[in-house]
Amino acid sequence: MPVDPFVFQARPPQRVVFGKGRVDRVSEEAVHLGIRRAIVLSTPEQADHANAIAGLLGEHCGAVFSHARMHTPVDVTEQAMAIVRTEGIDGTVAIGGGSTTGLGKAIAYRTDLPQIAVPTTYAGSEMTDILGETADGSKKTLRDPKVVPETVIYDVALTLALPAGLSVTSGMNAIAHAVEALYAPDGNPVVSLLAEEGIRSFAAAIPAIPADPANEGARADALYGAWLCGIALASTSMALHHKLCHVLGGSFDLPHAETHTVILPHAVAYNAEAARPAMERIARALGADAAAQGLFDLAAGAGAPTSLRELGMHADALDRAADIAVANPYSNPRPIERDAIRALLDDAWHGRRPATA
């Protein structure tokens, strides 16, 4: 079968350290990057993790900031920046999920300081040059090589305490990156291989983790999948699914991973006829008959939320969400049509299983 023309853009240099117990090397990795006084970043819920990292860094820790929040609010970034300036900080160590990684990226965007990311979820943002920031009720995204963490430490042990429910939604969030990479206009055969393997890894991990949250093999599969899906996200442009999630998160403050989980099957169903080769790869990776239905069943079978209603979205906000979503749309295989987007959101609000084509 002939290979379609494509462009492959090499990524900025990035060091990945993968394996159980690897976080113990964080001080060594800081030295490798020339960091003398790091600020350790986390959410309030992971302050204990941040303090443990500070202990591992020892003399290389200059401050701890445990106030990262979802969607990277600019006012929180400015609070952290004040510490960066006053404490002579020359690097960041972000431990946590996308909220904390986003804060590290926001600091790097403003300062170009080196970053170490220590993911404890499967969001995958640690692999990308994408930064999303929220201000005045609106989330804006940008791409800049400065925000790519120079070093990523994937330690399976740090994910064992991740609650099963959050593990599932974080995994679905990661799958969304790979799904949209498969029909991205700037995709290529290499990224498609990584994306399909990432989906396959999560298709194995997501049912297994709720059954046994201490299953290190399943946790390793998920972390490996997060890395692959993150590369897919970093290497291509995203489409309708991510646009909808940015709208729902930035304008309606819905939780990030859960929103991805709910929207993904419906966005895939919307694009199914316009991106058939991608749908075949997604279904194959899931071991399902069809992509959209397989994604819905994967999430529902693992006990994840399947409706925007469950996430606190009000039905009377769907019209406004549709209006925002069709303004400045992302590139997408199927044209963005306001009525069809409104119908998609209605299906997602009710939690309907996508219809079979």
Helical pair 256-271 and 240-252, crossing angle rounded to 10 deg: 150
Q: 329 and 209, same structural domain?
A: yes
Q: 319 and 171, same structural domain?
A: yes
Written as six digits, the tokens of 261 are 């989980």
* CB 64, CB 80: distance < 8 Å: no
Query: pLDDT, tens digit, for every residue of 49-61?
Result: 999 999 999 999 9
**Where a domain ends, among 159, 193, 220?**
159
Q: 52 and 102, same structural domain?
A: yes
CATH number for the domain including 21? 3.40.50.1970
Q: 116 and 33, same structural domain?
A: yes
pLDDT value, residue 3: 73
Query: pLDDT, tens digit, for every residue of 279-310?
Result: 999 999 999 999 999 999 999 999 999 999 99
The total number of structural domains that make up the chain: 2
Residue 6 is assigned to a structural domain of this protein: no
Q: 104 and 176, same structural domain?
A: no
pLDDT value, residue 13: 78
Could you tell me what percentage of the chain is helix, strand and coil, using 3-state DSSP and rounding each to the nearest 5?
60, 10, 30
Q: 112 and 173, same structural domain?
A: no
Residue 269 is assigned to a structural domain of this protein: yes
How many whole angstroms separate alpha carbon 41 and alpha carbon 23?
Answer: 15
Supply angle C-alpha 348, 168, 295, rounded to 5. 50
Query: pLDDT, tens digit, for every residue of 216-235?
Result: 999 999 999 999 999 999 99
Q: 183 and 132, same structural domain?
A: no
pLDDT value, residue 123: 83
How many whole angstroms separate alpha carbon 334 and alpha carbon 79?
Answer: 41
Q: 224 and 147, same structural domain?
A: no
How many whole angstroms separate alpha carbon 202 and alpha carbon 229?
Answer: 10
How many whole angstroms separate alpha carbon 326 and alpha carbon 236?
Answer: 21
Q: 220 and 337, same structural domain?
A: yes
**Where a domain ends, among 137, 159, 181?**
159
pTM of the model: 0.88
Residue 278 is assigned to a structural domain of this protein: yes
**Where a domain ends, among 126, 159, 192?**
159
Cβ partners under 8 Å of residue 320, min gap 6: 251
Q: 146 and 71, same structural domain?
A: yes
CATH number for the domain including 312? 1.20.1090.10
How many whole angstroms separate alpha carbon 81 and alpha carbon 19?
Answer: 31
Give the pLDDT means over successive 10-residue stretches in the chain (357 positions): 72 87 97 98 97 98 97 96 98 95 98 97 90 87 93 95 94 96 95 97 98 96 95 92 93 93 98 97 98 98 98 97 93 96 98 87
Residue 28 is assigned to a structural domain of this protein: yes
Residue 9 is assigned to a structural domain of this protein: no
How many whole angstroms separate alpha carbon 105 and alpha carbon 108?
Answer: 5
- Residue 127 DSSP SS3: helix
Residue 320 is assigned to a structural domain of this protein: yes
How many whole angstroms separate alpha carbon 173 and alpha carbon 189?
Answer: 22
Closest CA to 231 of 203, 264, 204, 195: 195
Strand partners, 15: 151
Residue 190 is assigned to a structural domain of this protein: yes
Q: 169 and 147, same structural domain?
A: no
Residue 106 is assigned to a structural domain of this protein: yes
Cβ partners under 8 Å of residue 2, min gap 6: none
Residue 322 structural domain: 164-350
Q: 85 and 181, same structural domain?
A: no
pLDDT value, residue 357: 57
